[in-house]
Amino acid sequence: MSRRILLVDDDRDITDAVAMLLELEGHEVRSATNGEGALQAIRSFAPDVAFLDWKLPDMSGAQLLARLKAQPGTAHTRFVLLSGFVDPEAMRGETAAAPQARFDKTLTKPATIEDLLACL
């Protein structure tokens, strides 16, 4: 089944490569390289799944997650943290302060296409 996927990572090479792999699997993908770009993307694109990096240039993954969850059209979105480095102390502090900033799943980069597809 085809899914609508939002991919947010500040590394354009990563977003391009992952988007291409997911599109080859038949999914519709939108990508952004920062939090504001992701917020703009969901104004016209309600994703089934959103893969978010933890470290973005304009906000943390937890901050972006909280803002995305507050948007109309994301009530049924599955949110997956996809990051190469997550500071467990920072993550605990941010998610404790914002309980709505809890991801449905966590993947560590580099993730395989099988890992990504299992989140759909």
Cβ-Cβ contacts under 8 Å for 38 (sequence gap 6 or more):
6, 8, 32, 50, 52, 64, 68
Angle, alpha carbons 108-59-93 (nearest 5°): 70
Architecture of domain 4-118: 3-Layer(aba) Sandwich (3.40)
Task: Give the tens place of pLDDT for each residue, 57-84.
Answer: 999 888 999 999 999 889 999 999 998 8
Task: Give the tens place of pLDDT for each residue, 16-64.
Answer: 999 999 999 999 999 999 999 999 999 999 999 999 998 899 998 889 9
Domain boundaries, the chain: 4-118
Q: Is pLDDT at 101 greater than 90 in this prediction?
A: no
Q: Is pLDDT at 94 greater than 70 in this prediction?
A: no
Q: Which residues of 6-23 are buried (b: 16+ CB within 10 A; e: fewer)?
A: bbbbbeeebbeebbeebe
Alpha helices in the chain (DSSP H): 12-24, 35-41, 61-69, 88-97, 113-118
pTM > 0.85: yes
